[in-house]
Amino acid sequence: MNNIEQYKEKTFEDIKHIDDNGNEYWEARELQKILGYKEWRYFSAVIEKAQVACSQSNNNINSNFGVNTKIVKTGVSTKTIIDYKLSRYACYLIVQNANPKFEAVALGQTYFAVQTRKMELTEEEYSRLSEDEKRLYRRKQTRDGNKILYKIAKEKGVKNFDKFTNAGYKGLYNGETANDIAKRKGLRYREDILDKMGSAELGANIFRITQTEALLEKQEEPNEQVATNTHFKVGKAVRDTIKKLGGTMPEDLPTPKRSIKEIEKEELNKITYN
């Protein structure tokens, strides 16, 4: 079992709670411990940053960070402390704003990013999908993610989007540009490389996209070179994470025989003729 699987089964999922309505949540005080924060004052500062990010993304803070006061014993007396009932999305935001020098935080950034980006599908529902269904699902995520990424990149001063896009691919694919990837996969002219990726390769690119989004949001001044460099650094960081976890490098993953467009056309025909 690799590090991320151990993290999944013995760390975050192990402290997950289920309320009376069947909704999952995490307690902030428990999350604090597994992320390596010894003092609440430092961790509460991370929570505040995560709440700001939540608000800026037009998500409701109260529904993701429910205040949950507790009474605890301190010797012979008691005192009231603040805790939070966190959604999965809130946990994702917290680990994004936590100190990545902590190994648990670094792994958490990988874990929650992947889990959160499954959108409405539960983990069990996702696991039951066929490979083609996973590809369709993750391809939609890359489309939606790129729309947001390019919008943010434009706000941060990016004008040469070919250079910006290739910077991310170069980091993730060990120097390969989009054209290099297309040639290696044997694609036709103007065929989208994302349409000829399996679910695992698409997953790596989703991580690249979402992490770049998060870092560009923090970029204070518009600067095309800084934004482009950030995309490269994120791509390389994703590659390094895959290597650290013992995964397969994206360029070594098999290229599916059918493109996403072929699968989508087949699905459309099923709807049309059924």
Report residue 4's pLDDT band, with 50, 70 and 90 as the boundaries. very low
Examine the pLDDT at 5 and tell me if it is beyond 60. no
Return the structure tokens found at 42: 């430092």
Among 156, 141, 129, which Cα is nearest to 221's?
Answer: 156
Return the structure tokens found at 31: 């999350």
44-78 pLDDT, tens digit each = 999 999 999 888 877 889 988 999 888 877 777 78
User: What pLDDT, on the 0 to 100 scale, is given for residue 12?
Assistant: 77
Examine the pLDDT at 235 and tell me if it is beyond 60. yes
pLDDT average, residue stretch 137-163:
93
Given the structure tokens 């909704």, which residue do they identify?
A: 23
Query: Partners of 72 in the beta sheet?
Result: 79
76-133 pLDDT, tens digit each = 778 888 999 998 888 888 988 888 788 778 777 766 655 555 545 666 677 788 899 8
As a whole-number percent, the residues of the chain with pLDDT over 70 amount to 88
Which residues have C-beta within 8 Å of that of residue 115, sequence separation ≥ 6? 88, 92, 123
Could you give the CA distance from residue 274 to residue 262 in angstroms, rounded to a whole number? 18
Half-sphere exposure of 183 (CA within 13 A, CB side): 5
Among 119, 77, 93, 118, which Cα is nearest to 35's?
Answer: 93
User: What pLDDT, on the 0 to 100 scale, is given for residue 8?
Assistant: 47
* 3-state per-residue secondary structure call for the chain: CCHHHHHHHHHHHHHCEECCCCCEEEEHHHHHHHCCCCCHHHHHHHHHHHHHHHHHCCCCHHHHEEECCEEEEECCEEEEECCEEECHHHHHHHHHHCCCCCHHHHHHHHHHHHHHCCCCCCHHHHHCCCHHHHHHHHHHHHHHHHHHHHHHHHHCCCCCHHHHHHHHHHHHCCCCCHHHHHHHHCCCCCCCHHHHCCHHHHHHHHHHHHHHHHHHHHCCCCCHHHHHHHHHHHHHHHHHHHHHCCCCCHHHCCCCCCCHHHHHHHHHHHHHHC
Name which of 98-107, 233-242, 246-255 the model is least confident about: 98-107
User: What pLDDT, on the 0 to 100 scale, is given for residue 7?
Assistant: 47
Q: 12, 94 in Cβ contact below 8 A?
A: no
Which residues have C-beta within 8 Å of that of residue 266, sequence separation ≥ 6? none
Could you give the CA distance from residue 113 to residue 89 in angstroms, rounded to a whole number? 9
165-219 pLDDT, tens digit each = 999 999 999 999 999 999 999 998 888 999 999 999 999 999 999 999 989 988 9
Report residue 227's pLDDT band, with 50, 70 and 90 as the boundaries. very high
Name which of 29-33, 100-104, 170-174, 264-268 the model is least confident about: 264-268
User: What pLDDT, on the 0 to 100 scale, is given for residue 100?
Assistant: 78
User: What pLDDT, on the 0 to 100 scale, is given for residue 3?
Assistant: 47
Q: 256, 197 in Cβ contact below 8 A?
A: yes
Name which of 74-78, 137-141, 233-237, 259-263 the model is least confident about: 74-78
